[in-house]
Amino acid sequence: MISIGIVRKVDELGRIVIPKETREQLNIAIKDPLEIFTDDETIVLKKYQPGCMFCGKIDDLHEIKDRMICSSCIQKILAEVEKEKD
């Protein structure tokens, strides 16, 4: 983990500001969703990457009716449909 020496206080609503330089470095834009989780006593913020609704993969995705589905799962679905036709 890289320490960049910036300290921020938590406000009354529990918010902190992520420095602009850090957001730019991590390609985080305004209104981008972030995942928040803990690891022992550490809070981890990660840019949220939605994955395939069936297997969770985050590469080779296609948006179908507002759902993300990977090519592999699409092929499996098509194979099942073909099987049912027989």
Cβ neighbours around 52 below 10 Å, total: 20
End-to-end CA distance of the chain: 55
Domains of the chain and any CATH numbers: 1-48 (2.10.260.10), 50-86 (no CATH)
Residue 22 CA to residue 45 CA, distance in Å, equals: 12
Q: What predicted TM-score, i.e. pTM, was given to this entire model?
A: 0.56
pLDDT tens digit sequence for 22-48: 899 989 999 999 989 999 999 999 888
Say how far apart CA 60 and CA 30 lie, in whole Å.
25
- Predicted confidence at residue 5, as pLDDT, reads 76
Beta carbons within 10 angstroms of residue 73's beta carbon: 19
Distance CA 28, CA 34 (A): 9
